Amino acid sequence: MMKFQDWGEVPYEIAWKRQEEMMQMQVSRKMNGEPTESTLVFCSHPHVYTLGKSGKAGNMLYDDGTIPFVKTNRGGDITYHGPGQITGYPIFDIENYHLGLKHYIYNVEEAIIRTIALYGIVGERLEGATGVWIEAHTPRARKICAIGVRASHFVTMHGFALNVNTDLTYFQRINPCGFVDKGVTSIAKEIGAEADYELVKQQLHQKFIEVFESDK
């Protein structure tokens, strides 16, 4: 059964440390032949830019030192986290769900796609570009949710960042996820009004249960 924790707003590096501890606990249990559990964590972060382990620092276009820049050990390139964004960290033993890493990421995308569909937004996947996109196969392609994960012994950490009421101007300082020809968006921008942030969290939590628990 999937557990759930809402950390509220927490600095990125503190959340990263907590994730590492949770992940290592599950890996240790697994190595000792003990049962593991999966926990879905939601939080938001004060303004921060993070760079994945294979990302290029040059995708940070403008750094005036006012916003922290953190090199992390997740997959993916550079992204922004800040208020109005749901940052999700599934600390899952994906073997409990009979999943490999590729299918796990597909399921995360699916939970996001089903959530934004509640707002009349059609989310899509884009080949070779992890995450959830709007009008993915057109010149107007824009990303609404970035995904970058790390796994050890099939236990995952890091996760996704869904733009709900995010101030998108902060993405102008970077090439989001390394792309120079694609935009970013949010639920608020797509529907033309601020979304109920707490309601979106509840809906997203339910969609994760729907997608992952039905796969077991």
SS3 state of residue 117:
helix
Choose among 144, 131, 121: nearest CA to 191: 121
C-alpha span between 182 and 191 (Å, rounded): 19
**Bridge partners, 41 (sequence order):** 5, 89
Catalytic residue among 177, 187, 188, 204: 177
* DSSP codes, 53-93: TT--GGGB----SSS-EEE-SSSS-EEEE-TTEEEEEEE-B
Within a 10 A sphere around the Cβ of 15, how many other Cβ atoms?
21
43 included as an active-site residue = no
β-pairing verdict for 155-163 and 85-91: antiparallel
Cα torsion 203, 205, 207, 210: sign: negative
Are 71 and 51 in contact by the 8 Å Cβ rule? The answer is yes
CA atoms within 13 A on the CB side of 103: 12
Catalytic sites, residue numbers: 177
